[in-house]
Amino acid sequence: MSANHDGTNLLEVRGLTKIFGTLTACDHIDLDIARGEIHALLGENGAGKSTLVKMLFGSLEPNAGEIFWNGQSVRISSPGVAKKLGIGMVFQHFSLFEALTAAENIALSLDDGSPINSIAAKARALSFS
């Protein structure tokens, strides 16, 4: 864990908490993710995985804690704010268009004018197409 939030980690979460009534779904979560890392969240139903991701995506606001993106404290108050930071979310139950490539499916959710060729190149680099 980096106490100085120097941007070494792309994402840092400190003390993130979400409470629904009397249920504490996430209780003081700390998490560091460095650039280029891939992580998986594993746990039983009701463990708070989706709640944590929804707070990072701006679909839910935390009751406590702080999120740092590139070393800067951020308030992710909506999915639009998350998107501007470069944070996206693949929903647990989603549908893809089978006739489209991975890049084309991704491009459907973009409204920033990203060229499909650029998206396709990234998808190929990640072996998605």
50 pLDDT tier (thresholds 50, 70, 90): very high
Q: Which helix (H) or strand (E) holds 110?
A: none
Choice between 10 and 7, residue whose per-residue pLDDT is larger = 10
Q: Is the pLDDT of residue 60 over 80?
A: yes
Domains of the chain: 9-85 (3.40.50.300), 95-129 (no CATH)
pLDDT in tens, 16-38: 999 999 999 999 999 999 988 88
pTM: 0.70
Nearest Cα to Cα of residue 9 among 41, 29, 49, 36: 36
Quickly tell me which residue has 């707070």 as its tokens. Answer: 55
